[in-house]
A and B are shown apart, each in its own frame.
Chain A
Amino acid sequence: MYEAVVIGASAGGMRALQTVLSGLRSEFPLSVAIVQHVSPSADSYLAEYLDGKCALTVKEAEDKEAMAPGTAYVAPPGYHLLVEKDRSLSLSVDARVNFSCPSIDVLFESAAEAFGRGLIGIVLTGANADGSAGLKSIRARGGLAIVQDPATAEAAFMPRAALETAGADHVAALEEIPALLEKCVSLNEGGAHGAKANG
């Protein structure tokens, strides 16, 4: 039974995130957590921007906030975003991981522990290898991995690195990802606990 989706994006991520998130309905029953690499001194524009473009509620993650369904939480610039076992969110100002804060690996690894096989991890466009180790953790704990098809990514390095390190259950173009997620949700509703969507 899927409970949450985590998404990591870097260079080219803003447009990619918009494509994926705007394809989801407002009643999308899973929680979503997002790390997009930005400069630590950036303002909190991204969440606001995406919220305006999507049916889903998109907001910047607050420390110790409980994750709600149908809501996407974006890591604040300069803070790592982590998921606690009780499905609340935590922030940290620990050292950069993969030269990044927020780091995709930090989100993915903590979410993998919290949700186990109830998690879907998605690696999108980017020009570094953040997210690869995290996606591997997600798969090791029975979660589902989706990677943007590098051939369709604005920056192919990150999805390619994720495929090399972790592999994926699905390699998909951006436009196909919302339908894939809905299919996972329909498995939930059909009661197929922990089953994986097949292409």
Chain B
Amino acid sequence: MMEENEREDLEIDLLLEGIRRRYGYDFSNYSHASLKRRLAQLRDRAGLARYTAMLDRVLHDERFFDELLMQMSITVTEMFRDPGFYRAVRDEVVPILKTFPFVKIWHAGCATGEEVYSMAMLLHEEDFLDRVRIYATDFNKHALDAAEKGIYPLEKAQAYAANYQAFGGKGDFADYYTTAYDRVKIKDFLREKVTFSYHNLVTDGVFGEMNLICCRNVLIYFDRTLQERVFRLFTQSLRHGGFLCLGNKESLNFSGIKPLFETADARQRIFKKTGELEHV
């Protein structure tokens, strides 16, 4: 007899297969435990009893799929989350990037853009933003729209100001946005340095010739197989000597690309590309 556990896993497999064939999004290599938590939350919120009921709904209701996509892609992020990371980029990485006439930065899995704008502010304070193009990508079009608008709740901006202080920002955080009612909007001189575009790390290809790739707290949602795919993608998308920035608890330790990188900052998980993948 099949236990409830196994039946639920079967239902989730069917749901993911339905999503893949109907919409082209493949979640089968996501970390299962988090994925299941997120799906269970959506199932309960939608008042559905089973994952197979979600399958029925998702196949026939595109708006419900949008909701699912949102549920699958939203992470908790802040401007200048992990202030020490931004300090390391400013003090250790930017001086090297400044030796190039022009620099390309890729924020992979940018969600609603908070960390992208943090990077833009940092580069602005180093008088370097004019020589940089930032590409910010995500697989969630709604999140990308929100990121491009650069509008955030005022109360959050106040919390971000504390992170900015901890980072050691050289200006006044409030100079980076305009306030209207209970919202703030990131100023245009920052927004126009960022190109937002759709890119799915699971299925899409190389995003080329980057000097720095920032992908923080995205890979923890992937299993080892998918992590390895993305690590190879990043390696191919980075210039020689380019930097890969991961989340504070992410590492190259379990990856085949580890020998192609040297550690630039162990604590802040910043790695420098020193080798090439062999072309197959």
Contact = CB atoms under 8 A, between A and B. Distances in A.
A76 B250 CA distance: 12
Interface string A64-98: 10000000000010111011110000111111100
A63 B253 CA distance: 10
A113 interface: yes
A110 interface: yes
B34 A94 contact: yes
A96 B78 CA distance: 14
B73 to A, nearest CB: 11
Contacts of A79: 220, 249
Contacts, number: 66
Interface residues of B, number: 26
A79 B38 CA distance: 16
Contact of A93 (B5, B38, B217): B217
A85 B38 CA distance: 16
A141 B6 CA distance: 13
Interface string B20-31: 000000000001
Contact of B250 (A63, A96, A113): A63
Given A93-B220, A94-B76, A64 B33 contact: no
A89 to B, nearest CB: 9
Contact of A92 (B5, B34, B77, B254): B34
Interface in B1-27: 5, 9
B144 to A, nearest CB: 19
Interface of B: 5, 9, 31-34, 36-38, 75-77, 217, 219-221, 223-224, 227, 247-251, 253-254
Interface string A115-156: 010000000000000000000000001000000000000000
- Nearest 8 pairs of A and B residues by beta carbon: A82-B33, A110-B33, A90-B31, A92-B34, A91-B220, A93-B217, A63-B220, A93-B75
A106 interface: yes
Nearest to B218: A93
A106 B9 CA distance: 18
A16 B229 CA distance: 42
A46 to B, nearest CB: 14
A95 B31 contact: no
A106 B34 CA distance: 9
Interface of A: 62-64, 76, 78-80, 82-85, 90-96, 101, 106, 109-110, 113-114, 116, 141
Contacts of B251: 62-63
B37 A94 contact: yes
A64 B221 contact: no
A63 B249 contact: yes
19 contacts: A62-B249, A63-B249, A76-B249, A82-B31, A82-B33, A82-B34, A83-B33, A84-B31, A84-B33, A85-B32, A90-B31, A92-B31, A92-B221, A93-B247, A94-B75, A106-B37, A109-B37, A116-B5, A141-B5
B32 A64 contact: no
A105 B81 CA distance: 24
Given A80-B34, A85-B32, 5 more contacts: A64-B223, A76-B249, A85-B33, A94-B34, A101-B76
A113 B34 CA distance: 12
A23 B192 CA distance: 59
Contacts of B32: 84-85
A143 B31 CA distance: 23
A3 B254 CA distance: 24
Given A76-B249, A83-B33, A64 B254 contact: yes
Most buried by B among A76, A79, A91, A114: A91
A94 B249 contact: no
Contacts of A63: 219-220, 249-251
A79 B250 CA distance: 11
Given A82-B31, A84-B31, A93-B75, A110 B37 contact: yes
A125 to B, nearest CB: 26
B34 A95 contact: no
Nearest to A141: B5
A106 B75 CA distance: 15
A113 B75 contact: no
Contact of B38 (A91, A94, A96): A94
A92 B220 contact: yes
